[in-house]
Structure 1
Amino acid sequence: MADALRGHNLVWLAGQEELARRYPQLALVLPYPFALGAAPITTDGTQRGGLVLHWPGSRSPQLRPRERDAIGDVCRRLGSLLRDAADSGHPVKPGAGPCLVPPPGTRSSVSSEARFAVDFAERLPGGCCGLDGDGRITFATTTAMELLGAGPSDLLGARPWEALPWLNEPVAQDRYRAAVLSRGPTSFTALRPPDRWLSFRLYPNASGISVRIVPAPGAGAPPVRPPSPSPPLPPPRAGQPCSTT
C-alpha cells in the first residue's frame, strides 16, 4: 500500500512468485497462493487512503483491462465521498475494527431453509461448525461441541483459538490463514487435552469457512490395522464350477 501511495498507481501482485521477488519478507509470512492489488485513493492532489483487494490463487495471473478500470473507478468514487465528508465537517475516521459486509444475496433473516440446513448438519457423522469472514464461530453442531468440549456460550461469536486455548498453536493458525488467503481446502490435526486427537478440515469461500471435525489417531495412539485377509481359496480344477460366498 505504501508503494501504491508513493507511486500514485496500482500495485499488482499476480501470485506467490512475484510476491517473493518484490516483497520477500511478506512472502515468508504469507506463503500461500493468492493475488493482491493495492491502489491509492487520491482527490485534488490529496491522498485520502488506499484500497487493497485480495483474490484466491485460482484466478488468472493477469489483471484484465476492465478490472483495472473498475478499480480506478471505485477509487475515484471513494475519494469523492471522503472529500465531501471532510468538506462537510464530518471526516471519515478509522473504526475500532474491520467492517464485514456480507456477500451479495446473503439472507439476513432465519428461514425454514436454515432450519433444514441445521437438521441436515446434525445428522452427519462427526462435527460441523462455521466461521464468518472475521474467523468467528457462527454455528456449531451438537457433535462438534461434544468433540471440542465446549458449549454454545463458549464458542458462538468467538474465534476458535480464543475459545479453545489448545487451538492457539502455529499449525492451526497457519492452516486457517492458508484457507482464508488461498480459498482452497486445508486440514490439520490437534490434540485436545489430555489425550484426544481431532482432525479439522477447512472449506473456505467468500462468506467464511465450513469446518469438519472428526476424531483422529495421534501421537501415542495405537495404529489402526486393517483386518487380516482370509487365506486364498485354492483355484478350481478344470471342469469344476467356481462359486463365491
Structure 2
Amino acid sequence: MGTRAAQRPGRGGRADPDHRTSTGSGPEGCVPPGARRPSRAGTESAVEALERTVVQGMRDTGANVGGLYLLSEEERALRLVVLSGVPWDVALPWARVGLSYHSPVADALRDRRLVWLGGPEEVARHYPQLAVVLPYPFSLAASAVTAGETVWGGLVLQWPGSHPKELSRAERATIGALSGRLGELMRAAHDGGRLPSADGTTRLTPPPDVLTGPPREPADAFAERLPGGCCSLNADGRIVFVTDTAARLLGTARSRLLGHRPWEALPWLNTPVAQDNYRAAVFSRRPTSFTVLHPPGRWLSF
C-alpha cells in the first residue's frame, strides 16, 4: 500500500495488500477469540494435517483463500476449523453456517455437489444476501468433504476477480481430489480419536505465497527509495512493513504502526471508506485507491 500527500480530495494512489507474512491476528502470542495460530513443534496433529492439505490445495488450484468446515456433533451446522488468506474478523460472520442456510458451502453439503460462482454476477444471482455483504469481484468454489458415504464437512476456495468465469476441467479434478483427501484425513482422525472438535477454535494459517516466498530485503530497500511512502499489510490487515517516508506522512513512529491495523494505530483512518477499500482489495486482489483527511487539514492518498 502506498501513501502520499494528496493535492486535493478524489485523487488517489494505489493500495495493493501484500500477503507476505503469516495470517496471524497480531503480534506473536496475541490471538483473537475463536482463532489460533499453527504450532511450530511436535508431531503433526490431525488439524495440522488438515491445515497443510488445505494450503497445498490452494497452491495447486491458485486459490488465494481457503476455508475448511467441519460438521458439528449435532450435525445442524458447519464450523470453520481452518482458514487461510483472509483476516479472521472478515471471515467471522461465516465461522458458523447452519445446514439449512442458503449458502454455497451448505448447499454443496446438502446436494453433495460442487458449487461454483464465477464472479460477482453469479454471486448476486444465486446468493443475493452474500452479494450485498461482499460486493467485490471474486470467484468461489464450495465442495462437500466426504469419505465413502460419510459427509465430514465442507471446503471453500476463493480466487481473485481475475480468474476466468469458468472452472477448468483440471481445477474441477483438483478440487475433487482435494475434498477426497480431506475426507480421508477426517475419517482417519475420527477412527484414531483425534478428530478436531467442530465446536473448537479456528486454525489460522499463512497462504501459500507466504509459506514459499523468497526473502524480501532487496524489495524493502527498493521501497525505501520510492518518492511516496509504502507500507505492507499481512492477511490479517496488520502492518508488517512501513518505510520511513510513510511513517513521516502518517505522522507517527514506525514502532507504533508495526503489528497494528492501520485504522487501529491511526484513528483518523477508522472510516467506512478506508475499511471498505481494504476489504475490496482482500477479496478481489486488485488495487484500490482512496483519499482521506489527516487532521487537521492534510489530505493523503492511499
Shorter-chain TM-score: what band? 0.7 to 0.9
Which residue number in structure 2 is paired with residue 148 of structure 1?
250
Report the CA distance between 1:5 and its aligned residue. Answer: 1.0
Asked if structure 1 preserves the Cα contact closer than 8 Å seen for 2:237 and 2:261, the reply is yes
2:207 equivalent to 1:101: yes
Which residue number in structure 1 is paired with residue 160 of structure 2?
56
Choose which of 240, 260, 268 in structure 2 pairs with 1:158: 260
SS, match of residue 92 in structure 1? coil
Question: TM-score normalized by structure 1?
Answer: 0.74
Structure 2: gaps spanning 5 or more residues: 1-104
Report the CA distance between 1:128 and its aligned residue. Answer: 0.3
- The one-letter code sitting in structure 2 at the alignment partner of 1:59 is H
Which residue number in structure 1 is paired with residue 18 of structure 2?
none
Aligned-pair identity (%): 58
Change (3 A) 1:63 1:146: same
SS, match of residue 76 in structure 1? helix
* CA–CA distance in structure 2, aligned partners of residues 96 and 37 of structure 1: 20
Asked if structure 2 preserves the Cα contact closer than 8 Å seen for 1:12 and 1:36, the reply is yes
Aligned pairs (5 A) from 1:9-48 = 9-48=113-152
Which residue number in structure 2 is paired with residue 79 of structure 1?
183
Asked if structure 2 preserves the Cα contact closer than 8 Å seen for 1:38 and 1:53, the reply is yes
2:106 equivalent to 1:8: no
Asked if structure 1 preserves the Cα contact closer than 8 Å seen for 2:244 and 2:254, the reply is no
- The one-letter code sitting in structure 2 at the alignment partner of 1:126 is G
Structure 1: gaps spanning 5 or more residues: 201-245
Asked if structure 2 preserves the Cα contact closer than 8 Å seen for 1:33 and 1:182, the reply is yes
Report the CA distance between 1:96 and its aligned residue. Answer: 4.2
Report the CA distance between 1:175 and its aligned residue. Answer: 1.0
Superposition CA RMSD, Å: 1.7
Asked if structure 2 preserves the Cα contact closer than 8 Å seen for 1:127 and 1:143, the reply is yes
Report the CA distance between 1:163 and its aligned residue. Answer: 1.9
Which one scores higher on RCO, CA 8 angstroms, separation ≥ 6? 2
2:272 equivalent to 1:170: yes
